[in-house]
Amino acid sequence: MKILLCFGTRPEAIKMAPLFHELQTNNVDVQVCVTAQHREMLDQVLDFFSIVPDYDLDLMQPNQSLNALSANILSKMDGVFAVAKPNLVLVHGDTTTSSIVALAAFHNGITVGHIEAGLRTYNKKAPFPEEVNRQLTSRIADIHFTPTAVATQNLLNEGILPAAIVETGNTVIDALLLAVVKIETEHYQHPEIDRLKRLIPRHKKMVLVTGHRRENFGAGFEHLCDALLSVSEREDVTIVYPVHLNPNVKDIVYEKLSDIENIYLIPPVSYPVFVWLMQQSFLIVTDSGGIQEEAPSLRKPVLVTRTVSERPEGVTAGFSILVGTDQQKISTTICSFLDGFSGFGSSINPYGTGHASQKITDYLLKHY
């Protein structure tokens, strides 16, 4: 069995890294192809998890359209498949890389496995283009590795055969637990973590903020910033915001929040630094899907700046709250947590316990 893992973005790399190492540990012939849909942020994760790609398409270009990226991926994958000759291609999640690589593999008659399959909002515009990407991949994939019972049911409702679905938990929890162990070892040092320890007041409650979704560009980010301005007036809070480099995000955030007391705008950080920030935070405000999955394992509440989420399990379990981009709702909800949150008790992360990569590998060893 020859397996080719294909991914292109930082979130994909994080979630595929533990699976890559689990396959290697079990002596599976596995190779890695990256499209580098994101370059610098992808490379940071590859370095942290000690992964050297066998094939690097290096396709990131400034202001590249989704159609141009898709065409480049589709045209380049034939050459990779011709050399790698995989029996199985594994893609992840909902990126342009995942859907187009799956299509390219299908065109070449190669079996496709989809990691983190079955997530849905059933709204083509939220998130865009991720919702359509994941649905397209589901129509192509031969094996669907779902993270939760809800995701499994979504696929069953769409007519996917039960025999093609393997419920495993989410590999992001595997990655998070590996990262926590690594950064908490005595010999681990990171200059950015050391710098942040000196910069951020440790005696205040930290609100960690991220944002990047296209559907929130414009008014959505303006309302988020206005809410953060209101919260920053509290003396017991500090707000840390690693600002996405997209001008649609960065320009608004820096215009509204620069030089505000209690607000620390910092450049995007590497994966281990972000894990450390999550550990230090009191609560997290984000539109990220991965953070919604990770935060419950760190016992951190999440305010999701979206009106719908393809990860409803966290909301149902009480780990996440959908606040959209309404300024008043965001600020009021943040303050209510700052004043009244005392922990989650014994609640279990609905997205997994850190054994997803092992379950996926066991299935592949048994059936392939």
- The one catalytic residue in 12, 22, 94, 131 is 94
Spell out the alpha helix ranges (H) of 187-243: 191-199, 219-231
- The one catalytic residue in 43, 215, 234, 244 is 244
- The one catalytic residue in 22, 116, 287, 310 is 116
Residue 12 bears catalytic tag: no
**How far is residue 43's CA from residue 9's CA, in Å, rounded to a whole number?**
9
Look up residue 348 and give its DSSP letter.
Answer: P
Residue 212 bears catalytic tag: yes
- The one catalytic residue in 214, 215, 226, 355 is 214
CA dihedral 231, 234, 240, 246 (to 10 degrees): 30
Q: How many helices (H) and strands (E) does the chain have?
A: 15, 13
Structure tokens belonging to residue 199: 């910069």
Residue 92 bears catalytic tag: no
Residue 244 bears catalytic tag: yes
Using DSSP, state whether 203 is helix, strand or coil. Answer: coil
- Closest among 170, 162, 160 to 116, alpha carbons compared: 170
**How far is residue 293's CA from residue 314's CA, in Å, rounded to a whole number?**
7
- The one catalytic residue in 38, 39, 134, 212 is 212
Using DSSP, state whether 194 is helix, strand or coil. Answer: helix
List beta partners, residue 2: 29
Structure tokens belonging to residue 79: 């050459």
Find out whether 348 and 169 touch, Cβ atoms under 8 Å: no
Q: Which residues are catalytic?
A: 94, 116, 130, 212, 214, 244
